């Protein structure tokens, strides 16, 4: 075996051992397609590490990346590809994912990969040409690369048995639904009130899309006409910011600043939160059940907080950054409650504003309600997408530009 063979085998063995790869078809594809041929500018270690690899930048920010192998495996298992199927991929990247999918669908199948960046398409063509002998040996299906805005899909080859996005989206666009075959599946990283969820949606005879599976994820967002509109707003006079998702009820930054100017007491947490709970555990529950939910993050301004105020470094660590779920009043007396780290490394709910303690009690109640149903995380939610006019926002009702997402917890949450 060559060094590349050994690196590839080690990666696949690890993905199988971790349960990311579960089916023989997906394992065969990963073993047949050499990942390093799609990342020629990187070392073997970088190519086969279980990390996302940024490959394109604009203004200092990554606009495209080779996805983390474990996330690719999770998504391929969510897709449940079958021999002979027609697949549309939105976000071609390096071409590696298209090669994996073409290997699964086989010679009778076809993969069309669309990307808005012509240079990415050109590079992916070169990578696929380099890997042509391996793809031929694996009986891979045809791969077509198209430079276009993936927000409108690719109607020329429709209908598709599967449509998969490898970029995050704020919406379930009608073009994708229209291009799905009867009983087809749409898999996409969907923004849901500040969290990103990789949702496998099956198109029903009634025109609704119902989730088969939901996973946590984090993808670079869609560009072009379907680009996301969520943003982060700095809170004046602090080193904090508030996330303002495009599909949630935005917290009023002025109300947050007013509350932070009046520090109050602290409430003991019923139990500590883990890092995974901040966005996709309790954080997701809070966002879907409480209209006053928000997430505070570090603004990176270095601005000192008022005396007894809240500093960014008191928020909970989330990878290289910090963030905490919070509740704020939308009317009446100002009140804010935030999950914070204490000086001794524990967690507590810090309260601010005249109504802070009442809001803190509501935050505790929400935590207890979440625990009572099994502390559900992303995989424990069931999503139904109703295409058409967006509905009114509310608990479990998330309006989108082209429809409404209905969210409910499955009957048995996971601990």
What's the whole-number mean pLDDT along residues 128-147? 98
d(CA 368, CA 357): 17
**What amino acid positions are annotated as catalytic residues?**
67
- pLDDT for res 219: 85
| pTM more than 0.75 | yes
Residue 61 pLDDT more than 70?
no
Q: Strands, E, within 52-179: which ranges?
A: 53-58, 61-66, 86-90, 110-115, 142-147, 160-165
More confident of the two residues 79 and 248: 79
Q: How many other C-beta atoms are found inside a 10 Å radius of the C-beta of residue 321?
A: 11
Q: Which residue has the tokens 């199988």?
A: 16
Structure tokens at 379: 């995989």
- pLDDT for res 305: 56
Structure tokens at 376: 């559900």
What's the whole-number mean pLDDT along residues 381-407? 94
Query: How would residue 6 be classed by pLDDT, with cut points 50, 70 and 90?
Result: very high
Express each pLDDT in 86-108 by its tens digit: 999 999 999 999 999 999 999 99
Q: State residue 288 phi and psi, 5-degree precision.
A: -90, -10
Q: State residue 235 phi and psi, 5-degree precision.
A: -100, 115
- pLDDT for res 343: 85
- pLDDT for res 80: 98
- pLDDT for res 318: 86
d(CA 213, CA 219): 17
Residue 414 pLDDT more than 50?
no
Residue 63 pLDDT more than 80?
no
> What are the angstrom distances between the C-alpha of 86 and each of 36, 113, 163, 210?
26, 11, 9, 20
Q: Report yes or no: 352 and 307 within 8 Å, Cβ to Cβ.
A: no
- pLDDT for res 99: 98
Report the percentage of the chain scoring pLDDT > 90.
Answer: 79
Query: How would residue 307 be classed by pLDDT, with cut points 50, 70 and 90?
Result: low
49-53, 205-209, 224-228: lowest mean pLDDT where? 224-228
Q: In 3D, which of 276, 281, 311, 275 has the Cα closest to residue 296?
A: 311
- pLDDT for res 62: 63
Query: What is the separation, in whole angstroms, between the first and last Cα of the chain?
Result: 43
Phi-psi region of 261 (alpha: psi -120 to 50; beta: other; left: phi over 0): alpha
Express each pLDDT in 271-301 by its tens digit: 999 988 988 899 999 999 999 999 999 987 6
d(CA 350, CA 267): 7
Residue 93, CB half-sphere, CA atoms under 13 Å: how many?
28
């Amino acid at each position: 075996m060559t060094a590349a063979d050994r690196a590839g085998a080690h990666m696949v063995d690890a993905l199988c051992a971790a349960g990311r790869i579960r089916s023989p078809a997906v394992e065969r594809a990963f073993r047949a397609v050499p990942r390093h041929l799609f990342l020629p500018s990187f070392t073997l270690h970088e190519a086969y590490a279980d990390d996302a690899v940024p490959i394109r930048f604009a203004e200092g920010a990554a606009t495209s990346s080779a996805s983390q192998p474990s996330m690719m495996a999770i998504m391929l298992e969510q897709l449940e590809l079958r021999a002979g199927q027609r697949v549309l991929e939105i976000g071609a990247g390096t071409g590696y994912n298209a090669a994996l999918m073409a290997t699964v669908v086989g010679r009778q199948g076809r993969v069309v990969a669309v990307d808005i960046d012509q240079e990415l398409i050109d590079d992916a063509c070169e990578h696929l040409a380099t890997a042509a002998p391996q793809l031929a040996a694996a009986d891979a299906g045809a791969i077509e690369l198209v430079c276009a805005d993936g927000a409108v899909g690719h109607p020329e080859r429709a209908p598709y048995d599967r449509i998969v996005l490898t970029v995050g989206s704020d919406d379930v666009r009608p073009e994708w639904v229209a291009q799905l075959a009867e009983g087809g599946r749409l898999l996409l990283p969907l923004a849901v009130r500040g969290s990103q969820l990789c949702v496998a949606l099956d198109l029903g005879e009634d025109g609704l899309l119902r989730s088969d599976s939901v996973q946590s994820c984090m993808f670079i967002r869609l560009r072009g006409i379907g680009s996301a509109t969520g943003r982060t707003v700095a809170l004046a006079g602090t080193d904090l910011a508030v996330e303002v998702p495009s599909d949630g009820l935005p917290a009023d930054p002025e109300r947050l600043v007013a509350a932070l100017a009046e520090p109050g007491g602290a409430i003991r947490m019923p139990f500590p939160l883990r890092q995974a709970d901040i966005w996709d555990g309790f954080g997701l529950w809070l966002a879907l059940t409480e209209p006053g939910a928000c997430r505070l993050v570090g603004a990176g301004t270095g601005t000192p907080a008022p005396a007894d105020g809240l500093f960014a470094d008191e928020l909970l660590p989330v990878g290289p950054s910090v963030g905490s779920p919070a509740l704020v009043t939308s009317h009446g007396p100002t009140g804010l409650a935030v999950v914070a780290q204490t000086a001794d490394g524990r967690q507590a709910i810090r309260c601010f504003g005249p109504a802070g303690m009442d809001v803190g009690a509501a935050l505790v109640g929400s935590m207890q309600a979440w625990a009572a149903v099994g502390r559900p995380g992303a995989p424990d939610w069931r999503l139904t997408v109703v295409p058409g006019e967006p509905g009114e926002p509310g608990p479990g009702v998330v309006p989108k530009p082209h429809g409404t997402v209905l969210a409910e917890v499955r009957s048995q949450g996971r601990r």
